Copies of this chain bind each other. A is one copy, B any other.
Amino acid sequence: MNTTLAELATLTGGTLENANPDLPISGAAAVTDATGDQVTFFGNARYLPALKQSKAAAAFVPLDFAEQIGPALIRVANPSLAFAQAVERFAPEAIVHAPGVHPTAVVGPDVTLGEGVSIQPYAVIERGAAIGAGSVIGAYVFIGQESKVGQQCHLHPHVTVRERTILGSRVIIHSGTVVGSDGFGYEFSEGRHVKIPQIGCVQIDDDVEIGANVTIDRARFGRTWIQEGTKIDNLVQIAHNVVVGKHSIIVSQAGISGSSKLGQYVTLAGQVGIVGHIEIGDRAIVGAQSGVSKNIPAGETWFGYPAGPIRETKERLAYIGRLEKLYARVRKLEQVLDAKGIS
């Protein structure tokens, strides 16, 4: 699997500077971990000091990179992408799931299996479900009645897809995630919470990836809907009737309450909470741990608890940070007036 600096430059469309092109390279590693036979990359200004001292043989850097560093340079348009290509070059052999249905899988009546599907041990696919061509259904994956899985999907071990869920193509779902559990809805009546039937479904469009131990509840009626290309990190909560627009990013442990709607290209950072029945506009960004209880207009960046436009939140935090001095200034005013006998 070894290669050379020259080959890596060719692979990534980069230009090698000040280095022996035939130097053998055996791997790719982070700036602080890389050894003399590995390549690294410059992806974050925070790591520049570490890069200067890195023992890596070479580093992928931007075209206009002007710093003096230890490793040789491979100039590329996108160092992070180039590094990813190098990482893949050294990757261990990919895990392959051969097509076929494992004899322990329980496949119900009226199930449709597309060409080349791989159904792993102990998968359960209930009556009337359909799995598209080339999809991998991992060990212990549960596909409920009448659910549809598109083509080239990959459901990792221990995923639960409840009944009447619709997955598009190339959807990836990581282990432990539950799609289609009942929404959290009750009527309060005579001192008790009476369950409201949750008879809608969940629809997940093409090219969505969902992390591990995520929960996405089915709609009370209609659908909970994750649109094309959106990526959801681990342990995220998506409540009933939520809509997440295309190409959004929901970072770990964020939660979206019932019926809220996110636009396209929205970013929710980690541990953000969104209350129910609000709208987050296209390309809005919400900072980590923010608590959002109002609509966010398109394109705005919000932050804080309670969340507001980031400029306002930062000003507020700055005012708070100067309170010690403000108290001193007021005390001084009081003392001055007191000394002058003005009161």
The stretch from A13-21, A52-60, A62-70, A314-322 touching chain B is: A314-322
Contact across chains for A342 and B336 when beta carbons are under 8 A apart = yes
Write the nearest CB–CB distance from A296 to chain B, whole angstroms: 16
Q: Does A160 contact B (CB under 8 A)?
A: yes
Please measure, in the bound complex, the distance between the C-alpha atom of A221 and the C-alpha atom of B90, giving whole angstroms.
Answer: 10
Among A247-286, those with CB < 8 Å from B are: 247, 249, 251-253, 255, 257, 259, 270-271, 273, 275, 277
How does the 8 Å CB contact mask read for A157-168 relative to B, with 1 for contact and 0 for none?
110101110000
Contact between chains at A140 and B158 (CB < 8 Å): yes
Q: Is there contact, CB below 8 Å, between B184 and A251?
A: yes
A156 to B182, CA, bound (A): 10
Residues of B within 8 A of A145 (CB): 95
Q: How many copies of this chain?
A: 3
Chain B hits for A241, CB < 8 A: 30
Residue of B29, B91, B231, B291 touching A197 (CB-CB under 8 A): B91
Flag A301-341 by CB within 8 Å of B: 1 or 0 each.
Answer: 00001100000000111011111101101100110110010
- Of the candidate stretches A3-11, A110-118, A172-180, the one touching chain B is A172-180
Enumerate chain B residues within 8 angstroms of A214, measured Cβ to Cβ: 213
Within 8 Å by CB of A178, from B176, B196, B209, B220, lies B176
**Main SS of the interface on chain A?**
loop
A192 touches B207 (CB 8 A): yes
Whether A184 contacts B211 in the complex (CB less than 8 A), given A30-B222, A326-B326, comes out as yes
Contact assessment for B215 and A215 in the assembled complex, using a CB-CB cutoff below 8 Å: no
Known: A221-B87, A315-B324. A257 touches B270 (CB 8 A): yes
In addition to A156-B181, A213-B215, 15 A-B residue pairs with Cβ atoms within 8 Å of each other are A30-B259, A84-B187, A124-B139, A142-B157, A142-B175, A172-B182, A217-B234, A235-B235, A237-B270, A253-B255, A253-B273, A271-B273, A273-B288, A320-B320, A326-B326
